[in-house]
Structure 1
């Protein structure tokens, strides 16, 4: 009952637009089942070596970096509405053609193209949240959006595990359908709202708009340091999409459907606990403290994998990693939104998105390299050490950036 009441309390005050942004995200991410199975698809179905799989997965990261940069740039120039529309509708056909080009070169190129277009969506979506959410509800709005993402990821991998057991091609088809349907719903709900917003903005006095772009995130030294530390965290954390599924397959000997359910379990935990835990953290801790605790917990989740690979330990590790995610990712977005100014939020969200996108370049390559040369145990120990150090540094930097929070 207390948990239910906590849910009701945290949802109060969120706008209809914030809810609809989350619904669009839920539909889009419910179809997002390619990424968690991409490494397994490349090694198991296409028979690429582990090193070549890491290279192809790294092209996903390169495209994600470019997409985050372009998404932020185009959002500030054209508005978040159009960027989200372009991203959703253009990514759908690319998903459909990927299975027809199974060579290393074409697979790398298409994965790069798809991630570039898909990840333009992220900074635009973050800016939309800041536009439609009241300042006092900003973190809750980000949490609601992430809750939708994780509910989608709990549905997607579970369904993906079943579909991939039949044919990997189903993964790409369902991804395309999810992006297209999400695009239709987004346009229907937000088209008129975007027109009203643009008309209000056009009627604003000139002097209010003259100094909109007050600073560039690329010249904001504390924020650059913060973004680098976010990238370091992301390199360790996003093994969730790359080396962890390989660990489940090669060491734990789980079937594809079981891998999908374990990954989907993470989304279920986050959907169940995110809003209450975020609300508790906001009431009892400052943002630097929340980030420190969450990052250390992520490191501990990897240490647990040293104890064995039975399903109970895997679920315990995933539970701790999921709670860590709850206490890190939405508050990292909040720090970015608080640091940005009106008119350049797209650039700030884009740079922060780039920081996370770099993880998709380095995580597959570093993860598969460390595993092939030193084994999974070395990867888990190294990840804990890096995360513990980054937790301390992020605590210091964020405390200086937003001292009152």
Structure 2
């Protein structure tokens, strides 16, 4: 019985091209090496002695650099090709990290972080476009899921390694290791993967009619709003929820860590089999996103039950299932929606929606909590999740009309 379960699980990882596996490997190396990010605010506060306000502004510069980088990466991927952008982005950001550690003044760090993230996040839309070129059309959603799995595993390993490096080498060691991981991972990619310019669209049943510009694609803009909302809800997991665990239920950092580990284990064990099953059944992506966004909203409605600590586990399970159903198929929907030659621009706007959500989620969540308390924040997040679900239903109906016309 266990052998059959294991075999079925492994089968979900079959059928990928060599290039997809290399992309997943370098993504893992790069994300595992991204040790600066989890410790950045701690480094700015404790090592450079900035005020909380200054740290906040540096993180805002970080976020806006990420947004600009996402847009430039997508735009330039369409113009000169994703391959060149991926190599430029990771190699240059790797070298830049070596020098950023020597910048210690407030305004200089704001500028440096903005420039660094502009360069670094050019990689994300280019990488998504590369999957459109290297993955087979019939397993593209699974290929996107494989890369997401590599990102999650890398992020899981990174902070632990980062903590050891800080103990042994200090904060400067993080910059050296992070920069080196960028250069090593993209060198492996450049050596082992040849440039492929043509994106194989395959089945475009959910794609747009050939629009002149992404700015005229109304369906895609509503979809971007959905992506922004679901990302903003999800990021509460790393900002307001850990504080709520302690302030309301008295959970220790270790207990909160166990809840976060539960999320990671559920994603690791469920995401690839679920995506593989739904991909084989050829369920429309937007219908799966409808279910996922609703379950995400439900997870925050459950938090309104604030007299039983067990609800934190139930809510975490729900938000993890919502993540499994929403994010892989959102990635795939955005790429399938893009007309030929505009894949980069579409994926740029998609990744920008996450960058914007990252900037706004914690600021808005903490503002609501400060003024009205945790319960109103959970209610607000749940309600906008319901709105996102309604927008998904509108997209589904509009797609039917679009195909018929």
TM-score range, shorter chain: 0.7 to 0.9
1:147 aligned residue: 149
Name the counterpart of 1:339: 337
- CA-atom RMSD, angstroms? 3.3
- Looking at structure 1, the residues matched to 127 and 269 of structure 2 have their Cα atoms a distance apart, in angstroms, of 23
Match runs of 1:1-400 below 5 Å? 1=2, 2-42=4-44, 52-161=54-163, 163=165, 167-190=170-193, 193-194=194-195, 197=196, 215-244=212-241, 254-255=252-253, 263=260, 266-282=263-279, 283=281, 285-303=283-301, 317-400=315-398
**TM-superposed deviation, 1:26:** 0.9
CA contact (8 A) 1:66 1:116 kept: yes
CA distance 1:8–1:65, change in 2 (3 Å): same
Is this contact kept in 1: 2:86–2:123, CA < 8 A? yes
How far apart are the structure 2 equivalents of 1:146 and 1:25?
9
Residue by residue over 1:141-197, the C-alpha shift from the partner in whole angstroms, topping out at 9 and shown as x without a partner, is 11111111111122123434555577444443432232122111111112xx21xx4
The CA deviation at 1:83 is 0.6
Deviation at 1:247? 5.1
DSSP-derived class of the 1:215 partner: coil
Tell me what 1:207 maps to: none
Say which structure, 1 or 2, has more relative contact order (CA 8 Å, 6+ apart): 1
Which whole-Å CA distance do the structure 2 matches of 1:35 and 1:271 have between them?
Answer: 22
Asked if structure 1 preserves the Cα contact closer than 8 Å seen for 2:225 and 2:388, the reply is no
CA pair 52-308 structure 1, distance change in 2 beyond 3 A = farther
Which is worse superposed, 280-289 or 380-389? 280-289
| More displaced 10-residue stretch of structure 1: 125-134 or 395-404 | 395-404
Alpha-carbon deviation of 1:57? 2.4
Stretch moving more, 292-301 or 314-323 = 314-323
3-state secondary structure, aligned to 2:12: helix
Distance 1:334 1:292, change over 3 A: same
**Kept after mapping to 2: 8 A contact 1:235/1:359:** yes
Q: Is the 8 A contact 1:51 1:368 kept in 2?
A: no
* Aligned CA distance change for structure 1 residues 13 and 41 (closer, same or farther; 3 Å): same
Contact 2:226 2:388 in 1 (8 A): yes
Q: TM-score, structure 1 length as denominator?
A: 0.83
Deviation of the 1:60 alpha carbon: 2.3
Alpha-carbon distance, 1:330 to partner: 1.1
Greater CA deviation, 180-189 or 309-318?
309-318
Separation in 1, partners of 2:120, 2:271: 25
Inter-partner Cα distance in structure 2 for 1:51 and 1:371: 18
Choose 257-266 or 12-21, whichever is displaced more: 257-266
- Shift of the 33–316 alpha-carbon distance from structure 1 to 2, 3 Å rule, reads farther
From the superposition, tell whether residues 52 and 174 of structure 1 become closer, same or farther in structure 2 (CA, over 3 Å).
Answer: same
How far residue 368 of structure 1 moved from its aligned partner, in angstroms, is 3.3
Aligned partners of 2:308, 2:84: CA distance in 1, in Å?
A: 47
C-alpha change, 1:284 and 1:335, in structure 2 (3 Å) is: closer
Contact conserved, 1:157 with 1:260, CA < 8 A, in 2? no
**Alpha-carbon spacing, 1:225–1:93, altered in 2? closer, same or farther (3 Å):** same
For 1:387 and 1:219, locate their aligned partners in 2 and report how far apart those are by CA, in whole Å: 25
Q: How many residues align?
A: 387
Question: 1:262: how far off?
Answer: 5.6
Q: Is the 8 A contact 1:58 1:363 kept in 2?
A: no
Long gaps (5+) in structure 1: 202-212
CA contact (8 A) 2:211 2:217 kept: no
Moved more, 11-20 or 100-109: 100-109
| Secondary structure, counterpart of 2:341 in structure 1 | coil
